[in-house]
Every structure is written in structure tokens, then in C-alpha cells.
């Protein structure tokens, strides 16, 4: 086994000369080379401003011939890295909030001490890996067998919802005096939303003409006589899934007995950005029931004591699936707007879940809550594949099999309770 620089430490289980230093052997890989590769796949600049990513400890000049991948840096995964003399790459930062010291009398400080003493480097790719393509949610979606993936939320300000959701355009003609009340009614039914704006409409005026039939009861004019009325042409976009509700609102609010309107299907726009972004939306190759999809998810995702929880009618049809590795509760509304039948993520809260599945009755979106660790562990295989592709046999890559989901016991409630 090649000698790697160690600072002489009994905790590492072997004796090392204090003066030992890495020797640049031909054909070996430095930590810097590994970092450059990982930074290329998951650029640190893509991380959220509050995040703490990159090299936690380790000398970029040291040699690396083993890498251990884990979601969390905890004693068990650090043990694995130490045993293999490996660079430990994790998804979650060990040190996220402000750190003013890493004393060994602190649990996290003790881990840092141990890694430094044993010559083990530690590197974090967190929210930068979340938004990358491929990234954390791609790995999750791939594991679930989803196709046609696109981001749930774009990495920069943009009107993703408008671009991604299937839209219709409604063009309706109404007497000028009824213009604003009609826009109000259509807006209340869900038309006219563009990104963070609502009640968006375009109006022009012109002359409408008609002749009521003998049996008609016209709001304007009388049977048998040609009428010319100054009218507004009102244009509003609407999500296609709200087509029936918006047309019903139009008929209810329009003063005419037979409103004239056009309903046009909007063409699909090209992607706003590239494939980067948080979460993914994709399609199942074969639609199934929510129960069947949940069983599939439980069988292909890493096992935890908790398993998975499902909210929604188990017999409802599932074709479009939104996913987000980690805590994705804040993206529920985006998933719904993008037409997802079910949203799979972690750490969902009671009230947000209740609202999501009951707000719109049968049109509501189902939810699947998975252990946080299990939604992100599939990403480790993605990183392993990239590292093996880049460094071949010069760097041994291992995915930790330690389950760092903290929930250790799951006791189902009794049927009678």
C-alpha cells in the first residue's frame, strides 16, 4: 500500500515517522486533482450563499488513492475513511454554522482532529450538487425510472413555471363595460398568472356585430335586428389543467347569452435555462396507481427503518412525478403547478402536506415522504461513477454502506388505535 502523509498518530492504528511527507510518485493522483474534478462537476459557486462547501480539511498536495462517499460525516463514516486512508466526500457539511474553533472536546471538532491526524481529507458538495446536472435529484429520479427530466426550480431568477407548464390562451370578446369584471372572474378561476404576477390580461377594443335569433334573449339588442356593439377583446393565459374551470367562470360572468371566445393551446417553449436546477420533474414510462408507484419507490430507494409515507388516494393515477432530494417541502407549489401527480421528497411537515393533498380535492397532488438520507444516497453512486470514469484504477472509490438516517426504530400503530 502506498504511503500517504500522516502526522504520526496512534488513533490511526499505525506508527508513522513524524517527518513523513507525501512523495509525488509518477502516475498517482493528488488531492488537488480530485478536488478540481469534483469542483468541475459541482462548481462551488453554484452553492447557496448560506452553504459551506468545498475542502474542510486536507492538503491539496497530498496523494489520494482512496475515496469514500457518504451523505453525512459522522463517526461511522469517518471511521470508514480512516480505515481506507481515504478522502471523505460527503453531501452534508460537517460545519455549517459559524465555526470559531475545532477543539477535540467538541463532537465535530473531534472528527476534524481525527481526520487531520490520520491524513484523511474531507470535502463537501452540497447545494452545488443539488442544482448540478446531473445532480442529486437526477440520481433520485434515475433510480425511480423517470424520463424526460427537467428542473423543478431554475437555479436563477426566471419564469420557469410559465415556461414549463402546459398553457392555453383564452381570447374573449365582451362589452367594454364588462371588461374589468370579466378579467376579475377569469383571474379568480386561475387565468392570467405569469410568474409572480396575477390578473394579467391584454385588451383591445373594436366593434362586434351579431343578430339575435327569434328565440334568443339577448343582453344587448333585440331578436331579428343586427346589432353593432363596441367590445373589448380580452386575452389571458391559463394552465391547461384549469381549462374547464376557466371556461365555466367565463360563461358565468359574461353578460352575453352566447359569449364569443377562442381557446388556443400554446406551443411548448424551449427550456428557459439548461438542465440545472433544484428538484426534477419527469414522466413514468408506464402510468400506474399511487400505491404501485409507492411500492416501486420503496423497492428501489435505499432502505431505512422508517420506510416511506404516502399522502393521497392510493388508487389515483400517477404519470408525472416530481422529486427533490433532501428537504423539498418549499417546492410543493412548484411541483403542483408543473402538473405533477405525485411529489416525492423528504422532511414534509403536517400542515403543508394536509394543504397539498386536500386543497383541490381530487385535483390535489399526492405526496411521498422518504427519509432524507434515502433521497440523497443515490447521488453517491453518481459521484462514484464520475470519479471512476475520470481516474480509472488509480483511485479506488467506495460508496459507504452506513445508513446515516437517524431514525432507528419504526413501530406501526395498531389497527385499533
Whichever of 68 and 249 has its CB closer to Zn ion, that residue is 68
Q: Report d(CA 30, CA 68) in Å as an integer.
A: 15
Q: Which stretch binds Zn ion (CB under 5 A): 185-193, 216-224, 259-267, 321-329?
A: 321-329
CB of 376 to Zn ion, least distance (A): 5
Q: Does 326 bind Zn ion (CB under 5 A)?
A: yes
- Give the angle 342-152-332 at the CA atoms, nearest 5°: 50
Phi and psi at 108, nearest 5°, equal -75, -40
CB of 92 to Zn ion, least distance (A): 6
The sheet carrying 87-90 orders its strands as 54-57, 122-124, 87-90, 66-70, 396-399
Whichever of 119 and 326 has its CB closer to Zn ion, that residue is 326
Whichever of 72 and 80 has its CB closer to Zn ion, that residue is 72
Whichever of 144 and 395 has its CB closer to Zn ion, that residue is 144
Residue nearest to Zn ion (CB): 326
Q: What x-and-dash track marks residues 257-296 binding Zn ion by CB under 5 A?
A: ----------------------------------------
Query: What's the Rg (C-alpha) of the chain?
Result: 29
Q: Does 155 bind Zn ion (CB under 5 A)?
A: no
Kindly determine how many residues on this chain lie close enough to bind Zn ion according to the rule CB under 5 A.
1
CB of 124 to Zn ion, least distance (A): 11
Beta bridge partner(s), residue 309 = 369
Among residue numbers 102 through 141, which ones bind Zn ion (CB under 5 A)? Answer: none
Whichever of 135 and 326 has its CB closer to Zn ion, that residue is 326
Q: How many CB atoms lie within 10 A of CB 3?
A: 15
Q: Does 329 bind Zn ion (CB under 5 A)?
A: no
Q: Which stretch binds Zn ion (CB under 5 A): 17-25, 326-334, 361-369, 394-402?
A: 326-334
Whichever of 30 and 327 has its CB closer to Zn ion, that residue is 327
- Containing 179, the helix (H) or strand (E) segment is helix 179-188
CB of 372 to Zn ion, least distance (A): 6
Q: Which stretch binds Zn ion (CB under 5 A): 3-11, 290-298, 320-328, 334-342?
A: 320-328
Whichever of 326 and 329 has its CB closer to Zn ion, that residue is 326
Q: Which stretch binds Zn ion (CB under 5 A): 145-153, 277-285, 324-332, 350-358?
A: 324-332
Tell me: cis bond preceding 134? Omega within 30 of 0 counts.
yes
- Containing 192, the helix (H) or strand (E) segment is none
Beta bridge partner(s), residue 168 = 238, 265
Give the cell for residue 190.
386561475
- Containing 262, the helix (H) or strand (E) segment is strand 260-265
Whichever of 68 and 183 has its CB closer to Zn ion, that residue is 68
Give the C-alpha distances (Å, rounded to integers) separating 319 from 136, 341, 345: 22, 6, 17
Q: Helix (H, G, I), strand (E, B), or coil: what is residue 324?
A: strand
Q: Where are the alpha helices (DSSP H) in 8-135?
A: 31-41, 75-84, 107-117, 127-131
Q: Which stretch binds Zn ion (CB under 5 A): 110-118, 145-153, 279-287, 323-331?
A: 323-331
Contact set with Zn ion (CB under 5 A)? 326
Amino acid at each position: 500500500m502506498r504511503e500517504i502523509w500522516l502526522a504520526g498518530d496512534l488513533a490511526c492504528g499505525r506508527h508513522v515517522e513524524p517527518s513523513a511527507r507525501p512523495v509525488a510518485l509518477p502516475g498517482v493522483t493528488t488531492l488537488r486533482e480530485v478536488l478540481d474534478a469534483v469542483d468541475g462537476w459541482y462548481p462551488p459557486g453554484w452553492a447557496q450563499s448560506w452553504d459551506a462547501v468545498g475542502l474542510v480539511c486536507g492538503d491539496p498536495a497530498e496523494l489520494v488513492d482512496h475515496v469514500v462517499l457518504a451523505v453525512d460525516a459522522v463517526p461511522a463514516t469517518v471511521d470508514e475513511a480512516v480505515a481506507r486512508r481515504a478522502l471523505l466526500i460527503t453531501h452534508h457539511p460537517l460545519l455549517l454554522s459559524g465555526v470559531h474553533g475545532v477543539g477535540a472536546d467538541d463532537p465535530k471538532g473531534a472528527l476534524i482532529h481525527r481526520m487531520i491526524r490520520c491524513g484523511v481529507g474531507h470535502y463537501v458538495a452540497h447545494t452545488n450538487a443539488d442544482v448540478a446536472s446531473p445532480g442529486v435529484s437526477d440520481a433520485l429520479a434515475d433510480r425511480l425510472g423517470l424520463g424526460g427530466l427537467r428542473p423543478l426550480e431554475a437555479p436563477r431568477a426566471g419564469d420557469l413555471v410559465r415556461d414549463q407548464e402546459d398553457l392555453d390562451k383564452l381570447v374573449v370578446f365582451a362589452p367594454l363595460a364588462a371588461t374589468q369584471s370579466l378579467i376579475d372572474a377569469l383571474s379568480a378561476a386561475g387565468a392570467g398568472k405569469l410568474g409572480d404576477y396575477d390578473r394579467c390580461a391584454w385588451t383591445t377594443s373594436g366593434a362586434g356585430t351579431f343578430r339575435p335569433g327569434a328565440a334568443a334573449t339577448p343582453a344587448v339588442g333585440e331578436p331579428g335586428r343586427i346589432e353593432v356593439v363596441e367590445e373589448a377583446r380580452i386575452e389571458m393565459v391559463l394552465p391547461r389543467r384549469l381549462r374547464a374551470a376557466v371556461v365555466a367562470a367565463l360563461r358565468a360572468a359574461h353578460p352575453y347569452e352566447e359569449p364569443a371566445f377562442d381557446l388556443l393551446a400554446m406551443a411548448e417553449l424551449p427550456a428557459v435555462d439548461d438542465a440545472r436546477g433544484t428538484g426534477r420533474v419527469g414522466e413514468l414510462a408506464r402510468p400506474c396507481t399511487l400505491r404501485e408507484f409507492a411500492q416501486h419507490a420503496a423497492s428501489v430507494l435505499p432502505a431505512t427503518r422508517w420506510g416511506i409515507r404516502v399522502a393521497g388516494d392510493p388508487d389515483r393515477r400517477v404519470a408525472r412525478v416530481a422529486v427533490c432530494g433532501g428537504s423539498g417541502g418549499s417546492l410543493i407549489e412548484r411541483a403542483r403547478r408543473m402538473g405533477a401527480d405525485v411529489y416525492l421528497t423528504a422532511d414534509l411537515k403536517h400542515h403543508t402536506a394536509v394543504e397539498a393533498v386536500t386543497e383541490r380535492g381530487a385535483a390535489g397532488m399526492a405526496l411521498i415522504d422518504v427519509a432524507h438520507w434515502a433521497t440523497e444516497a443515490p447521488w453517491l453512486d453518481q459521484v462514484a461513477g464520475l470519479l471512476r470514469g475520470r481516474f480509472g484504477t488509480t483511485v479506488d472509490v467506495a460508496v459507504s454502506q452506513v445508513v446515516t438516517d437517524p431514525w432507528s426504530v419504526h413501530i406501526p400503530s395498531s389497527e385499533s388505535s
